[in-house]
Structure 1
Amino acid sequence: MDQIQNKVKKLDEYQWPQGFFSDGIHAGLRDGLDLGWIYSETPAAAAGVYTTSQFQAAPTKLTKNTINLNHQLQAVVMNSVCANSCTGPQGEADALVMQQAVADKMTIDSNLVGVASTGVIGQYMPMGLITAGIKKLELGDSDKVAHAVMTTDSHAKTISVAADIDGETVIVSGFCKGSGMIHPNMATMLGFVTTDAKIASYELQALLSEHVNDTFNQITVDGDTSTNDMVTVMANGASGVDVAASDEFEAAFHQVLSYLAQEIAADGEGATKLVEANVKHAETKEDAQKIAKQIVGSNLVKSAIFGDDANWGRIMGAIGQTDAKLDVDHVSLWINGIQLVKDSISVNFDEAVVKETLASSKVVIDVDVNVGEASGQAWGCDLTYDYVKINASYRS
């Protein structure tokens, strides 16, 4: 594993893979960048995962259907401010107009264009501004598109990773938005991954589906799932490097998804701390993942962490809420490496030391449930006064 990781390197700055271009502009939907796109000079193998909400938004459904049709994309156009969700036939028509506007601009088939929207649910798209803005999009190489899709995010979330595969370099880059209404499968987040690797679309889809389960599907901010959200991947093969069955490519791909997932969790609305839960010795991986996510999703745990309170009983309470198999008399628990519980009862620990470590920007909770060999991981954030302030005035 170390040998593989030595061939995978996170780059210091965001870098588009070969053959990809982007732009982000101010189209008039708000102050600042609000419309953007990704464009590949050739059609790319494409894969996607999508919100499980029954009220799946028009652009999300359109992109899903588009990818399922031919498993390729050449462009994705995206906007903030308006989610184009719960907008009925008009919303579906507007998403199609956005798709066709990009196709006409670049003289490509409309079935090669994905659409992504985020923002307020129930509002109709300002199509005059949208279509005029699409005409202004250019083929650049900046990360402005990552800023154009931000809503309550405090910063753009981007990463680029280079993988050395048999002496050749493949780039995997990704950006995402998401801060609130986060509780995948999926949540109010949009993720976009691009790579110049050569890979078949069915392999790309399998890879995405597998690694989303360990990354984006293991984060939570507030327990709410949105209507719009998805992760798409485009692989245009411009590097000429075939990555089928490449461990190095899979490691790079996982690193991109894991990093972006943690960026969303750490940037939860009003959050001051990233919370990581690691569960070991579970009977199954599903049980381990379930326990980890229950811990980071508990409002009582999140509140205690915000208050720097070493109230380990709240964590035990969260674990007990699951239907995962436990050795209830032999559970152990640590916070930032300090053991608080052994054999399901308290051990002697220095309350002041634990309180001090809980003030860190990252809090790691380790749990041993003592019934098997499986492990799991999840990420969340603390619950602060500012979360309520932000969401009480989201539309005003």
Structure 2
Amino acid sequence: MQITKENKLTIIPGGGVTSPKGFKAGGVHCGIKRKRLDLGYIASKVPATAAAVYTTNLFQAAPLLITQDSIKKEHKVQALIVNSGNANACTGTQGLQDAAEMQTLFAEKLGIPASYVAVASTGVIGVPLQIDKIKSGIEQIDLPEYESAARFEQSILTTDTGVKNACVQFEIDGQEVTIGGAAKGSGMIHPNMATMLGFITTDAKIEHEDLLFALREVTNQTFNMITVDGDTSTNDMVLVMANGEANNQTLTKDHPEWSVFIKGLNTVSESLAKQIARDGEGATKLVEVQVKGAINETIARAVSKSIIGSSLVKTAVYGADPNWGRIVCAIGYSGQELNPDSLTVKLGTITVVEKGLPVPFREEAAKAYLEQEHVQIFIDLNEGCGTATAWGCDLTYDYVKINASYRT
């Protein structure tokens, strides 16, 4: 297996949620979908410190409520059960009962307390969950042929065109520590979480408060900096499980190698976030907006997200149209106080605006650049040291086709 080292981090292509010590995972077909895998699980050898962040949508799905309640009790999770094809959202009291039953059934299967099981769902909103099919699927889970990180990654997909995984290794206190992750997300993706599920495992030893602090910090720089279509869903969650099997000294913000752990968590999260953005429904390109020179990071984040969320910018990228006016327009309505006369805009290496004014450029060269699969837009506000990066995708005809018939 080829590995890549980046400043003490070893990036492991193909690694995922079972790469850290003490974790296993898998997926089965329980019948919610016609053919594809639709029920996945992760289980830790021992109870793991848990932390999670959730959608900001007021209509939170039943599984999120069950999971939040469990993590609040003991800050521990030993297993996760997740289905795709049905969101179990806007399903009322019955939905809560079904999510709780999913939790109980899997806990009984593993012989652990129900409060140690996290629950997640993704799929169509407003349809009752077929709990009998979930039960049948859970009964299959102990079959060895159904175990693998790849099967788990496949089991959580909806309109995704492929699996999403990431993994890094590094040393803490002389011990090898691994962080692995898997995610799903393709549509209803917007900053502040979206129809996105992210599951991260690590064998690092760390307490709940510090893990939650790390997750929130990293999420604000990664998962909360992507957008596909501006819609924030009901089921979104990023869950981290840390089982301590690496036997490092307990990580805290005062630990001398805390920054190494943060960099590892950030690397996995950024990779998953970018994979989600690139796999936007109908997308053909990954779009990256880098902003620098802002008075502070808050302004830089707002500007980058305004650009990446602009439908006009996204369609221009799809059509390889170097219409920089749409970028300037998105900066102008970002709600931030900026000096228009200081602005520089680049499409890749091609400068199109400088000091707030257009500069001559070769239209053919700019168009050729925008035809690439990875498009970068660079903004320099020339007012300070604040920086931020956001990721998204182009907006295509296929996005409309996919979502016009998603439910039917």
TM-score bin, normalised by smaller chain? over 0.9
Aligned-pair CA distance for 1:339: 0.7
Whether the 8 Å contact between 1:5 and 1:248 is mirrored in structure 2 is: no
2:326 corresponds to: 314
1:12 corresponds to: 13
1:29 corresponds to: 32
Whether the 8 Å contact between 1:283 and 1:325 is mirrored in structure 2 is: no
TM-score, reference length from structure 2: 0.95
Whether the 8 Å contact between 2:79 and 2:118 is mirrored in structure 1 is: yes
Find out whether 1:206 has 2:203 as its counterpart. Answer: no
Q: Distance in 2 between matches of 1:57 and 1:390?
A: 23
Whether the 8 Å contact between 2:48 and 2:244 is mirrored in structure 1 is: yes
Aligned-pair CA distance for 1:14: 1.6
Query: For structure 1, which segment, 13-22 or 252-261, has the greater mean C-alpha deviation from structure 2 after superposition?
Result: 13-22
Aligned-pair CA distance for 1:168: 2.1
Q: Distance in 1 between matches of 2:107 and 2:83?
A: 17
Q: Distance in 2 between matches of 1:191 and 1:10?
A: 18
Aligned-pair CA distance for 1:256: 0.4
1:188-216 CA distance string (max 9 Å, x none)? 00000000000111100000011100100
What residue identity is the alignment partner of 2:369? Answer: T
1:68-93 CA distance string (max 9 Å, x none)? 11111000100000000000000000
What residue identity is the alignment partner of 1:315? Answer: I
Regions of 4+ moved over 4 Å = none
Whether the 8 Å contact between 1:39 and 1:75 is mirrored in structure 2 is: yes
2:83 corresponds to: 79
2:138 corresponds to: 134
Find out whether 1:238 has 2:245 as its counterpart. Answer: yes
1:97-145 CA distance string (max 9 Å, x none)? 0000011111111010000000000000011110111111136343211
Find out whether 1:341 has 2:353 as its counterpart. Answer: yes
Task: Give the 3-state SS of the residue equivalent to 1:272 in structure 2.
Answer: coil
Find out whether 1:248 has 2:252 as its counterpart. Answer: no
Q: Distance in 2 between matches of 1:252 and 1:130?
A: 34
What residue identity is the alignment partner of 1:80? Answer: S
Aligned-pair CA distance for 1:325: 2.3
What residue identity is the alignment partner of 1:62? Answer: I
Q: Distance in 2 between matches of 1:164 and 1:236?
A: 16
Q: Distance in 2 between matches of 1:368 and 1:160?
A: 32
Q: Distance in 2 between matches of 1:184 and 1:83?
A: 20
Q: Distance in 2 between matches of 1:190 and 1:234?
A: 14
Query: For structure 1, which segment, 38-47 or 244-253, has the greater mean C-alpha deviation from structure 2 after superposition?
Result: 244-253
Query: For structure 1, which segment, 60-69 or 160-169, has the greater mean C-alpha deviation from structure 2 after superposition?
Result: 160-169
Alignment of 1:1-396 (within 5 A): 5-15=6-16, 16=18, 17-30=20-33, 31-138=35-142, 140-242=147-249, 243-244=251-252, 245=255, 246-396=258-408
Q: Distance in 1 between matches of 2:386 and 2:185?
A: 29
Aligned-pair CA distance for 1:338: 1.0
Q: Distance in 2 between matches of 1:229 and 1:387?
A: 20
Q: Distance in 2 between matches of 1:69 and 1:276?
A: 39
Whether the 8 Å contact between 1:280 and 1:373 is mirrored in structure 2 is: yes
Q: Distance in 2 between matches of 1:26 and 1:376?
A: 41
Q: Distance in 1 between matches of 2:381 and 2:14?
A: 40
Q: Distance in 2 between matches of 1:320 and 1:335?
A: 18
Q: Any stretches of 5+ residues in structure 2 without a counterpart?
A: none
What residue identity is the alignment partner of 1:305? Answer: V
Aligned residues: 393
1:145-180 CA distance string (max 9 Å, x none)? 111010000000001111122432111000000000
Q: Distance in 2 between matches of 1:228 and 1:165?
A: 34
1:261-295 CA distance string (max 9 Å, x none)? 01100000000000000111111111100100110
Q: Distance in 1 between matches of 2:167 and 2:343?
A: 39
Q: Distance in 2 between matches of 1:110 and 1:165?
A: 32
Task: Give the 3-state SS of the residue equivalent to 1:118 in structure 2.
Answer: strand
Task: Give the 3-state SS of the residue equivalent to 2:118 in structure 1.
Answer: strand
Aligned-pair CA distance for 1:5: 3.8
Q: Distance in 2 between matches of 1:69 and 1:209?
A: 19
Q: Distance in 1 between matches of 2:318 and 2:347?
A: 14
Query: For structure 1, which segment, 120-129 or 131-140, has the greater mean C-alpha deviation from structure 2 after superposition?
Result: 131-140
Aligned-pair CA distance for 1:250: 1.2
1:361-393 CA distance string (max 9 Å, x none)? 011000011221111110010000000000011
CA RMSD of aligned residues (A): 1.1
1:8-34 CA distance string (max 9 Å, x none)? 011022242111011101111111100
Q: Distance in 2 between matches of 1:311 and 1:58?
A: 44
Q: Distance in 1 between matches of 2:14 and 2:56?
A: 33
Whether the 8 Å contact between 1:325 and 1:371 is mirrored in structure 2 is: no
Whether the 8 Å contact between 1:293 and 1:378 is mirrored in structure 2 is: yes
Q: Distance in 2 between matches of 1:13 and 1:52?
A: 31
Q: Distance in 2 between matches of 1:82 and 1:337?
A: 44
Whether the 8 Å contact between 1:289 and 1:375 is mirrored in structure 2 is: yes
